[in-house]
Amino acid sequence: MTKRDGSASDHLRTQAAATPQDELVAGLSGAPESIRNPALLAQVLDRANLQRALKQVRQNKGAPGIDGMSVDALPEHLRHHWLEIRAQLEAGSYRPQPVRRVEIPKAGGKTRPLGIPTVLDRFIQQAIAQVVCAQWEPHFHPHSYGFRPQRSAHQAVREVQANIRAGYGWVVDMDLQAFFDRVNHDRLMARLKSRCPDADLLRLVNRFLKAGVSVGGKLEPTSMGVPQGGPLSPVLANVVLDELDWELARRGHRFARYADDCNILVKSKRAGERVMASVTRFVSDTLRLTVNPLKSAVDRPKNRKFLGFKVSRNGAKLKVADQAIDKLKDRLRELTRRTRGTSIGALVAELRETLLGWKAYFGIAEVLSPLREIDKWVRRKLRCYLWKQWGSSGYRQLRQRGISVREAWNTSKSAHGPWRLSKTPALSMALPLRFFENLGLPSLAPR
């Protein structure tokens, strides 16, 4: 952590008063002649690059690191300390702080480690990542889709789908075991140096790799890996796996990779088994990584998922994987718990945010029947929720909505529970599709 520097603070405050309101941090460049050669570190410390990095870090938000500083507090901290921080970066004396280790839940009750750097280190990492990305981006393989400008998971899925439709009916689905935790630092730094030959920048990147992690307040060293959670890690992951991409291309394979998820498409099971064996050796011997045999397989694409999608047996149409649907339903169950006591309007607003976010990613699915089933299931959950809220006024509520005396009476006096009753004709007619549409409930499947 840096000390407060009175003269630097005064200088930055003076500049802040003179800059436009939309400049988040004043004085992020310092004296332009402080670095006289066009080295990459100078590009990292360029004013425009730093302001872009700060904007990105603030947009990403995120939790505080081990120092407790929030993202919102970062601009003020930089106003007071930036000149001193910049001087440390230029002199090669800046020391990143250890990342805070937290465990993020995964499907099946497992967890994955996430490293949370301090917001100051996230800001510096972001500035570095932008420069490293600019150096490497023109040279990355076109079938690498993760964490790259104008590229997306959807494009990776479409690449796999196109190859399946072209007759490549078997997939070599490779899972790299604990990839982000096992990256070899020496190989990474040597490969990074090939396109970023700046000793000062490389030294700084290496310090971020070696900064260590804080687990329950105890500091642990990091001799390998690029901890997930920092802005620099995705770029470095692509630098490592770019070697795999070009090796697959050299061998003439059809493939798509998104971060450490890689699908190779072949025409037969026998070819797939040969490819799995040879690529596994390359990953182990050259990249010094491990292919997880329990999660990797040679199989028909309909039996494997890639980035949340599968392809259907007939026509190779995109279909949402069952695991993604189960995860969505778990979230919706949590939101529609009958004990929450939330008004139906507020509940639908929460559901709307979740459903629209899910649809923004999975909306490219071409097999729509599972999405229609979710739409029906959500409406049934809401009917169940309202019936429970109505309680003893259920008969009156049904009658007010045009349900006959007989239907309203039989439903309200039924011994069945709310979930069973939510499927009855009385509740379906009293709370039709139009009712939920008027509340703003979106549909996942187009009508």
The 10s digit of each residue's pLDDT in 6-20 is 443 344 344 333 333
Half-sphere exposure of 297 (CA within 13 A, CB side): 10
Question: What's the Cα-to-Cα distance from 201 to each of 53, 73, 193, 208, 228, rounded to whole Å?
Answer: 16, 26, 10, 11, 21
Return the pLDDT at 446: 86
CA distance 120 to 100: 13
CA distance 93 to 78: 18
CA distance 131 to 40: 7
pTM for the model: 0.84
The secondary structure of 85-115 as a DSSP string is HHHHHHHT---PPPEEEEEEE-GGG-EEEEE
Question: What is the DSSP secondary structure assignment for residue 2, as one 8-state letter?
Answer: P
Convert 396-433 to b/e letters by CB count within 10 Å (16 or more is b). ebbbeeebeeebbeebbeeeeebeebbebebbeebbee
Query: Which parts of 202-299 are beta strand (E)?
Result: 213-215, 218-220, 254-258, 261-266, 297-299
Alpha-carbon Rg for the chain in angstroms: 27
Question: What's the Cα-to-Cα distance from 348 to each of 255, 327, 335, rounded to whole Å?
Answer: 41, 19, 9
The C-alpha angle with vertex 319 and arms to 266 and 378, in degrees rounded to 5, equals: 160
For residue 423, give the 3-state DSSP assignment.
Answer: coil
Rounded to 5 degrees, what are φ and ψ at 13? -65, -40
Query: Of 33, 232, 222, whose CA–CA distance to 124 is shortest?
Result: 232
Predicted confidence (pLDDT) per residue in 307-334, tens digit: 999 999 877 899 999 999 999 999 999 9
Question: What's the Cα-to-Cα distance from 74 to each of 23, 25, 44, 152, 208, rounded to whole Å?
Answer: 14, 9, 18, 30, 19
For residue 124, give the 3-state DSSP assignment.
Answer: helix
Question: Scanning the structure block, which residue is given the tokens 């009855």?
Answer: 424
Which residues neighbour 315 within 8 Å (Cβ) at sequence distance 6 or greater? none
Convert 227-264 to b/e letters by CB count within 10 Å (16 or more is b). bbbbbbbbbbbbbbbbbbbebbeeeebbbbbbbbbbbb
The dihedral sign for the CA sequence 338, 339, 342, 346? negative
CA distance 212 to 101: 10
103 forms beta bridges with: 113
Return the pLDDT at 337: 84
Amino acid code (one letter) for 406: R
Return the pLDDT at 331: 94
Predicted confidence (pLDDT) per residue in 67-78, tens digit: 999 999 999 999
Instruction: Give yes or no for a contact between 285 and 276, defined as CB atoms under 8 angstroms apart.
Output: no
Rounded to 5 degrees, what are φ and ψ at 275? -65, -45
Half-sphere exposure of 344 (CA within 13 A, CB side): 20
Per-residue pLDDT of the chain (447 residues; tens, 9 = 90+): 443 344 433 443 443 333 333 444 444 544 333 333 358 999 999 999 999 999 999 999 999 999 999 999 999 999 999 999 999 999 999 999 999 988 887 766 677 788 899 999 999 999 999 999 999 999 999 999 999 999 999 999 999 999 999 999 999 999 999 899 899 999 999 999 999 999 999 999 999 999 999 988 889 899 999 978 899 999 999 999 999 999 999 999 999 999 999 999 999 999 999 999 999 999 999 999 999 999 999 999 999 999 999 999 877 899 999 999 999 999 999 999 866 678 999 999 999 999 999 999 999 999 999 999 999 999 999 999 999 999 999 999 999 999 999 999 999 999 999 999 999 999 999 999 999 999 999 999 987
